[in-house]
Amino acid sequence: MKSNIIIANWKMNHSFDDVEPWITKFNQKIENSNLNSTEIIVCPPAILLDYFDEILLEEEFKILEKKGEDVEDLSQEDLEKMTSEIRKINLGAQNCSSHESGSFTGEISAKMISDSGCKYVIIGHSERRKCSNESDNIVKEKILISLKNKLIPILCIGEDLQIRDQKDHLNFIKTQLNNSIPKNQEIEDFIVAYEPIWSIGTGKTPTLEQISEAANFIQKELAGNIDFKIKNLRIIYGGSTNKENSREITSIKNVNGLLVGGSSLDVDEFASISLSVEES
């Protein structure tokens, strides 16, 4: 059995009032199952990150207290160690600035994201590439700055329908990989999400063969190129995933998980996806 990562990308949805019920319900749903080989990551809007982390900590304190630990008496270091051992959901951001700090109104730095309890950051999502004109070069700068701030990048790549119809999709993703992943840089953990634009939010998913072709291609491109020095590479798929198709997609060789948009908003659906993937 391989290990998978399931990432919820809430995009610009949900608010403060939704965080606690979502977490409580998710924990209830997975309570009696061992999500041993599946890692869950939630990427809420940036303004909710700190609060999300706070609620996770509250839940963890309750679990520790039930186990007889006196949370008040523990040192900060012990508390962090114990809560991270029982943490079921890791946090990720949906974007970060390509700059360290400074006069960039409205932007959020990788350090701020890391300080909010995040382990991961999504970079180069097609919606950002489109709405904010993010080029591969900017994406590369964002990857560099996240690595510097100990965040694990989740790089999104994928072609639009026109490129797919022209059968130029492999060339297209090759260029995206080559232009946006820093070369000659030792990278410990890295995630590539293959997200064909034509499948995002459309209800259209590629065939299993098409996903497999892309995942194998990405694997070969990054493992077979001496310029890339990635120790732990994970390739995931994103685009119109749901509880019906999640298991078969994650059964594909070289696919190590899913980036889930719309279906992550409904906690029942997201929990079902997570549980079905655990069995794949």
* Active site positions, annotated: 125, 195
Q: Which residues bind ligand PGA (CB under 6 A)?
A: 9, 195, 200-201, 238-241, 259-263
What pairs with residue 122 in β-bridges?
154
The least distance separating ligand PGA from the CB of residue 259, rounded to whole angstroms, comes to 4
Minimum CB–partner distance for residue 42 and ligand PGA (Å): 13
Question: Are 11 and 48 spatial neighbours (Cβ–Cβ below 8 Å)?
Answer: no
How far are the Cα atoms of 122, 208, 240 from residue 191, in angstroms, in the given order?
9, 20, 19
Q: Is 24 helix (H, G, I), strand (E, B) or coil?
A: helix
Nearer to ligand PGA, 55 or 113 (CB): 113
Specify the residue, 111 or 243, whose C-beta has the smaller distance to ligand PGA: 243
CB of 162 to ligand PGA, least distance (A): 19
Which CB sits closer to ligand PGA, 92 or 239?
A: 239
Closest to ligand PGA by CB, 21 vs 201, is 201
Q: How far is the CB of 179 from ligand PGA (least distance, A)?
A: 21
- String of b and e for 77-115 (b: at least 16 CB within 10 Å)? eebeebbeeebbbbbbbbbbbbeeeeeeeeebbbbbbbe
For the chain, the first-to-last Cα distance in angstroms comes to: 7
Least separation in angstroms between CB 76 and ligand PGA? 35
Q: Is 254 left (phi over 0), alpha (psi -120 to 50) or beta?
A: left
Alpha-carbon gap, residue 131 to 230, rounded angstroms: 29
**Nearest position to ligand PGA, beta carbon:** 261
Beta carbons of 259 and 7 less than 8 angstroms apart:
yes
**How many CB atoms are located within 10 Å of the residue 187 CB?**
18
3-class DSSP state of 52: helix
